[in-house]
Amino acid sequence: MLNRELGLIEFNRRVLAQAEDPRLPLLERLKFLCIVSSNLDEFFEVRIAWLKEAALHTPDRILPDGTTPIQALKQVSDAARELIREQYAVMRDNLFPALREESIVFLRRNEWDESQQLWVRDFFFRELMPILTPIGLDPSHPFPKVLNKSLNFAVELDGRDAFGRESGIAIVQAPRILPRVIRMPPELCAGHRHTFVFLSSILHSHMHELFLGMTVKGCYQFRVTRDSELNVEDEDLKNLRTALQGELRQRQFGNAVRLEIADTCPQHMEDFLLTQFNLDPRDVYRVDGPVNLVRLMQVPDLVDRPDLKFAPFIPTLPVSLEKKAGLFEAVSDGDILLHHPYQSFQPVIDLLNLAATDPQVVAIKMTVYRTGTDSVLMESLIAAARAGKQVTVVLELMARFDEEANISWATRLEDAGAHVVYGVYGYKVHAKMLMVVRREEHGLRRYVHLGTGNYHPRTARMYTDFGLLTCNEDIASDVNDIFVQLTGLGRASKLKLLFQSPFSLHSMIMSAIEREIDNATQGKPAQIIAKMNALLEPQVIHALYRASQAGVKIQLIVRGVCALRPGVEGLSENITVRSIVGRFLEHPRVFYFYNNREENLFFASADWMGRNFFRRIETCVPVLDVKIKKRLIREGLRIYLEDNVNAWDMQSDGSYRRRTSRAKEKCAQVMLMEEYTR
């Protein structure tokens, strides 16, 4: 098996390639550069933090790829350092020159003319000086607590201050409320349409104003990344929400795992900072530019250049919804498959809006993993609860980096009268389920939505996902049983159609693979096609190896990290793995098993990872409708196997090669946008 962390580095290398691709609009390329930085921040906060803990406490442990944590940490740190070097080279040598050609300029300090210098000085005294708090280090002023991922400056000083204190070091923290990129007024753009300066440049040029009478010998930006995993102990745990709120306050000050510094920072200052954060030299990442490229994400919104951005795409509605007068009537007539973002997420929003206001609706049940700080869906649930409907929300408090937003929603929902539960302690609720119970002529009827993506309207415009609207009684019964599990107590019941983690999903996948092995052994055609975000679970990987050896044709579409080695003679020569990285983030999980022409098809909320199979509550839905099955096979799988624009083929050593072809270009995402537009 391949190393998980190295696989994540490889994924971000593919994202960085988007920033270099001249076929993409320039400002979109800048966004991809920022996405790499955002991904790497989380990578260090979670994966590197985990490796460092393992290296400290279980150094002799053998990881799935055969290395120890210490060995893996060195390999991964070296790979991350090389990726970061490439990222800054792309920014400096590729994107910034191309942006300058389009009259979008990031001016360095030595490029400011006299009028620009005067404007910067005025901006500093007017907007920055009143907010900044320099901290001179001495016995009365110890090294300050530095927030996770905040911008800071280490300043070397010479001379004596008003109290007779001699030269030393001061720390200046840039409050997060300050923008990191500042746009100059049009009249000062010196012939350019858009001129920007970095906050760090302004602070560098005026740092001496904070230390009157002292000489600034050096000023060096730095940024520290901290372990951001939350550790809620189960001993004496009475209220998960209360315990989690306490942990959230400490997240900003977890153990340091990475120190980013300017490449001009002298060695003695690096050593000083390493000591303060209890880090080793291997934890230092020197950068030639701003230490936080994520903040460049605001630039496309500040630049009115539609020609440098993706053309707007307007999602469509299913024909069945356009023909029917009402959503409930349309779903009653037959299952409806939604393919986001090509089709609108609005039907899901409408379902909750209708449920909140329809007097015939008596109950709503929903799982929430990520929904954002501003959600029309949550507002509908609150309105429904206030209207006296039975509203039950299984809200996952431990959704990483969304904990605070989810705690806020939990409070508001409870205040409105909704029943809010946090699932089962120790198992994250990752399933995407919504059920509306409506009193109709022949009794109660349940309307269900099941999906592969979060109930998050914004990401539904950026992520590809599938959702199913259905009145199927067996599916509705299964969904209701799962809700009963999550809110009450009792044994897991046998479901009629759905498969569920942590009970039946893993065994179903293993059985489906074994069935293909049996068919191949008997000389029958055997095939597996699966699309997911990550493939890491060892038992599944070894089952796929056995299937390959038996002659099963296996085509995997894995967007992110994959620990399976494809194309190894005698082991996996019948397995191909490809990754699609494009305008939209590929997010659905779709599994196809040929099964002697029966063609079993499923979509799920779960990747093929240990956590999804054994430590989360997930759902997997068999696709029964013939038309929907045909459509999902094509739109979710086949069309991506034809892609020769955004496809990367995985090699047996874990590296990737971009798919090229002299034939006509086929981009799955573009083809789907064109088809749905027509």
Active-site annotation, residues:
430
| 3-state secondary structure (DSSP) of residue 650 | strand
List Cβ neighbours of 58 (8 Å cut-off, separation of 6 or more).
69
Dihedral sign of CA atoms 185, 186, 190, 193 in order = positive
Give CA angle at 69 (63, 70), nearest 5°.
145
Alpha carbon distance 39, 272 (integer Å)? 28
Are 334 and 53 within 8 A, CB to CB?
no
Contacts of residues 550-554 at CB distance under 8 Å and 24 or more positions apart, as own/partner, are: 550/516, 550/517, 550/520, 550/521, 550/526, 551/520, 551/521, 551/526, 552/516, 552/517, 552/519, 552/520, 552/526, 552/527, 552/528, 553/526, 553/527, 553/528, 554/527, 554/528, 554/529, 554/530
Distances, alpha carbon 431 to alpha carbons 366, 450, 619, 662, in Å? 10, 8, 5, 42
List the beta bridge partners of residue 152: 173, 222
* Phi–psi pair at 356, nearest 5 degrees: -70, -30
Q: Which one-letter DSSP state was computed for residue 291?
A: S
Q: How many other CB atoms are there within 10 angstroms of residue 499's CB atom?
A: 21
What would the two tokens of residue 505 be? 């999903």
> CA dihedral defined by 494, 498, 501, 505, rounded to 10 degrees?
100
Helices and strands in the chain, H and E counts: 22, 27
Q: What is the DSSP string of 8-42?
A: HHHHHHHHHHHHH-TTS-HHHHHHHHHHHHHHHHH
One-character DSSP codes across 405-424 = HHHHHHHHHHHHT-EEE--B
Tell me, what amino acid is at 415? D
Peptide bond just before 502 cis, omega within 30 deg: yes
Closest CA to 124 of 218, 201, 220, 203: 203
Give which of 657, 561, 650, 647 is closest to 609, Cα–Cα: 561
Say which residues have a Cβ less than 8 Å from residue 420's Cβ, sequence separation at least 6.
Answer: 393, 395, 410, 413, 414
Rounded to 5°, angle at Cα 490 from 484 and 491: 105
Neighbour-count burial for 271-290, b at 16+ CB within 10 Å, e otherwise? ebbbebbebeeebbbbbebb
> 337 is written with which tokens?
């498959």
CA distance 488 to 419: 12
Question: Which residues, other chains included, contact 493 with Cβ-Cβ below 8 Å and sequence gap of 6+?
Answer: 481, 485
What are the structure tokens assigned to 117, written together?
């210098």
The secondary structure of 236-289, three-state, reads: CCCCHHHHHHHHHHHHCCCCEEEEEEECCCCHHHHHHHHHHHCCCHHHEEEECC
CA angle 612–613–617, rounded 5-degree value: 65
